[in-house]
Amino acid sequence: MSIFIDNTTTLLVQGITGRDGSFHAKQMMEYGTTVVGGVTPGKGGQKFEETVPIFNTVAQAVAATGANTSVIYVPPPFAADAMMEAAAAGIKLIVCITEGVPVLDMTKVYPYVKEMGARLLGPNCPGLITPGQSKVGIIPGRICAPGPVGVVSRSGTLTYEIVNLLTKAGIGQSTCVGIGGDPINGTNFIDALAAFEADPQTTVVAMMGEIGGTDEQEAAEFVRTKMSKPVVGFIAGQTAPPGRRMGHAGAIISGSAGTAAEKIEAFEKAGMGIAKRPMDFVELVKARL
């Protein structure tokens, strides 16, 4: 088992002929993901890597392939439209990798995707991977291994760091989910935690948060009140100054809200394991398996 994606996932790649899209489409295909089509307006009728059909629109692609999932690698000005296009075409899981999507765009994308009954992951996220089954996005497949740990994170490379440590210590993952670093994203920690709680394969969850907002605090409350499975947490940005955007659009301490201290306090209150350093995850998770 796993969450959100597995070997029944049939994937479209929006922006498949772009620099990032083509690179990662190949990587996903190599990993074994079922890539059923690509979308690039004006290249409809062509093939990607001589096998994957390209379409002008997502609607055409879905009609022809029956894809249930889409991953988006288009430049920021077009990303909001791409997400809504996928939702309008009936895609049920939309993963937006694009970084730099204006947050006001997301205030319209979010309710639309919801109205269409789709799940959005991202934007500005590394995607997700169910080791051994399917990879959607950019998480390096070779650092992952199948196993019992659900991983959910706001960060990309920090996640790789920790997944890498787990895998090297012989601890595999059920699904690794990057929810993204933007202030408004489609899937939050609670969505992923709820899915892991319901997933029989997952026995422990590792969660990497960062400064900004209250998503981690609400997640901690969810862990405290709704979860039976143990969760280990980490917060990046303890040394970040207030009022500055630390790379991620969402990683900003506003006034006195969204600090690492208050998030760690929430974790403590929820009885979660707390990793002070990335490497601490290995022992904390191992102790809870």
Partner 1 sequence: MNLHEYQAKEILRRHGVPIPDGDIATTPDAAEALAVKYGVPVMVKAQVHVGGRGKAGGVKYCATPAAAKEKATAILGMDIKGLTVLKVLVTVAEDIGSEAYVGIIVDRATKKPVFMVSAAGGIDIEEVAATTPEKIKYHPVDPRYGLRTFEAMEMGFFLYEDVKQARAAAKIMQQLYSAFIESGCSLAEINPLVVTPTGTVVAVDGKMVIDDNELDRLPAIEALRDESSEEASEVEARKANLTFIKLDGNVGCVVNGAGLAMATMDLVKYYGGDPANFLDIGGSSNPEKVVNALRIITADKNVKAILFNIFGGITRTDDVANGIVTATKANPLTVPIVIRLTGTNEEVAMKILTENGFSASSDMDEAVQKAVALATGAAA
Query: Using CA atoms, how far apart are residues 74 and 271, in angstroms rounded to an integer?
Result: 41
Residue nearer to partner 1 on the CB measure, 55 or 196: 55
Query: Using CA atoms, how far apart are residues 46 and 56, in angstroms rounded to an integer?
Result: 10
Residue nearer to partner 1 on the CB measure, 85 or 199: 85
Residue nearer to partner 1 on the CB measure, 148 or 223: 223
Per the residue annotation, which of 167, 248, 260, 273 is the catalytic one? 248
How far, rounded to the nearest angstrom, does the alpha carbon of residue 139 sit from its chain's CA centroid? 9
Residue nearer to partner 1 on the CB measure, 108 or 226: 108
CB of 247 to partner 1, least distance (A): 3
CB of 91 to partner 1, least distance (A): 12
Specify whether the CB–CB gap between 125 and 113 falls below 8 A: no
Residue nearer to partner 1 on the CB measure, 200 or 255: 255
Give per-residue burial for 148-161: e unless 16+ CB within 10 Å, then b. Answer: bbbbbbbbbebbbb
Specify whether the CB–CB gap between 32 and 133 falls below 8 A: yes
Residue of 185, 211, 1 whose CA lies nearest to 103: 185
Q: Is 24 known to be catalytic?
A: no
CB within 8 A of 247, min separation 6: which ones?
A: 181
CA dist 161 to 49, 88, 127, 151, 165, Å? Answer: 31, 36, 15, 12, 6
- Sign of the torsion formed by the C-alpha atoms of 219, 223, 224 and 225: positive
Which positions are annotated as active-site residues? Answer: 248
